[in-house]
A and B are shown apart, each in its own frame.
Chain A
Amino acid sequence: MIRFIFKGLLRDRQRSLLPVLVVSTGVFLTVLMTGWLTGIFKDMIDVNADFTTGHVRVMTQAYAQNETQLPNDLAILGADDLTAELEKQYPEMEWVNRIRFGGLLDIPDSLGETRAQGQAVGIAVDLLNPQSKESERMNILRSIVQGKMPDNKGEALISEDFAVRFKVQVGDKVTLFGNTMNGAMMFSNFIVAGTVRFGVAMLDRGAVIIDLSDARNILDMQDASGEILGFSHAGYYDDEQAALIKSSFNETFTKADDEFSPVMLRLRDQNGLDEYLKLADSMSFIMILVFVIAMSIVLWNTGLLGGLRRYTEYGIRLALGEEKSHIYSTTMMEAVLIGIMGSIVGTVFGLALCGYLQTYGIDFGRVLDNSSMMMPQKFRAYITPRLFYIGFIPGTLAMVLGNALAGFAIYKRKTARLFKELEV
């Protein structure tokens, strides 16, 4: 019987084409929007994790409370020992030291006088150690616009936008002004090894990236670090794993009466990312619900029109001895078949566009120019295994629901009346 119904569907385009189009459009939008939102949230979380929060982050309690001020005077002392301890106790994570600092970048003229000055957000990472994965993690190599990676002490990368604005060339000498850990004034010269553009507005305005050892040197932070970041070896954020490590670490190391004792935070505890993660979790459900309701209404009407058109057929089938419940169940079967066909078509097109958006993305750079959030400028989609089946839920559900409502009206009609409509 299913084969028979399937043949009918394929041959009667009026019966299948419009519903398939409606279902495939809804499924296409579901897959596309889910893929795109997943991509945006993933990128946002990845950018935050890679540049700021890690999958977990260790700071002193005092530093954590004033984190927005980058208070390196409250940094972790004995950072190397603590890192070694973390590596020993939690080998499932890679632990890295980072120092973030604020300052001024001074651009001298040929006489050594100040030609231009701009605010700089300094990030010190382990650049020179060949074993370090930091440059890969922060995508530095691919973000270089001009020049090269620093391969010597005293070299820095500065943001391309900053370089263009202040006409700084690769190889120029720049001076970094700021405060040491102890509050003394600091200034130090760096050679610009290259310029970078990360595609994150907040960083692209004025980032200066130097090696961790240089930062420790100029900021008087020997054996100290503002932050120790932990990244899962699996490469993605696992909230359950992060929660376990956080709980274990804080039980051992955090002391309520010592504000300089270290404290660990999960990614979702930071930068308001908890809300984003919750939103990401519920977004697919909300979208599926919206599409199921909208498509059901359309398909209900389509089913009603189709049902009216098929009154003759239903009458013939009744006369041939088919039960009303069987006719009703075959319309449900048709709905499932159309739902599956539409879902396949919609999923294929949705995945295709997601694939394009995953590769190229859409640039929202101008909108985000003044954003203080760690957000990528290009919003990309992200194809996950879930996208291959998620569209089938609204696709088949809406079609079955629409046909069930439409078919119910026919089912309620009296046999004799339905049959009478055969007469011409």
Chain B
Amino acid sequence: MEKDAIVSIKNLTKQFPVGKGHFTALSDVNIEFGVGEFAGLVGPSGSGKTTLLNIIGSLDTPTAGTAMVMGQSISDLSHKQSALLRSRHIGFIFQTFNLLPVYTVYENVEFALLLQRMNSVERHKAVMEALEWVGLIDKMKSKPSMLSGGESQRVAIARAMVKKPKIVLADEPTANLDSKNSHHILQTMKKLNKELKVTFIFATHDEKVMKYLDRIVNLADGKIAADERITDHIKA
């Protein structure tokens, strides 16, 4: 394992039953992600990006091989332990924002902390801080239906970041956003990555996202086709 690896995948295979046979979504994948990386899983639909993201997020388990996240084997975690891992250390950002529609912006962000049974004073402080990161203090009492796509995704980022996780998993976070909002969102995430040393792992095929990534892992037919680190020189 790499010295600072926060995610370590070894010989990972994931198969889903289809009729009497099975479909192999990931095949013998080996990869590691270090602390504070801003990396992306890139590839066409069906290449296994979301499946790998789900396994790293302990929402699914490997069929074979190991997936170690923060030193814990995903296969060996009980339901309770995997829920605890998600609630404490992993944040999710979705393509469709997935905010809870009946709650306000403030309450959507607060919900992640309610699960941690944080006291109300600390909770309030943390929520306000997260809303400040994404610049939505003035919208804290609004319902998701009153927000634009960009604002909704910023709420989702605040919700993922409020608990100060070690890893943020973002599945096509800009797919429903226009160019301007996409850049704004990515800049926000990049800033948080730098300031809080949070590892960001994206699943994307959006060129706009790729421009911000420090590392691009190409997936094709469930296998790693390329793993490229992008230096500032290349980006420029």
Contacts and interface: CB of A to CB of B under 8 A. Distances in A.
B85 interface: yes
Interface in A285-341: 312-313, 315-326
B87 A424 contact: no
Contact of A320 (B60, B80, B107, B112): B112
A321 B162 CA distance: 13
Contacts of B212: none
Interface stretch (A118-126, A175-183, A263-271, A415-423): A415-423
Given A1-B114, A4-B107, A322 B95 contact: no
B24 to A, nearest CB: 16
Interface stretch (A7-15, A22-30, A194-202, A343-351): A7-15
A324 B103 contact: no
A323 B88 CA distance: 12
A115 B49 CA distance: 107
Interface in B90-112: 90, 92, 94-96, 98-103, 107, 111-112
A321 B159 CA distance: 12
B92 A320 contact: yes
A424 B59 CA distance: 17
B125 interface: no
A15 B54 CA distance: 29
B85 A321 contact: yes
B79 A323 contact: yes
Max count, chain B CB within 10 A of own CB: residue among A316, A324, A424: A316
Nearest to B87: A321
B197 interface: no
B86 interface: yes
A324 B87 contact: no
Contact of B100 (A313, A321, A323, A415): A313
A320 B102 contact: no
Contacts of A321: 83-88, 90, 112, 115
A415 B79 contact: yes
A4 B114 contact: yes
B173 interface: no
B103 A7 contact: yes
B57 A319 contact: yes
Contacts of A320: 86-87, 92, 111-112, 115, 159
B73 to A, nearest CB: 17
B50 interface: yes
Contact of A11 (B85, B88, B102): B102
A338 to B, nearest CB: 15
Interface of B: 50, 54, 57, 59-60, 79-80, 82-88, 90, 92, 94-96, 98-103, 107, 111-112, 114-115, 159, 171
5 contacts: A316-B98, A320-B92, A415-B82, A420-B54, A422-B94
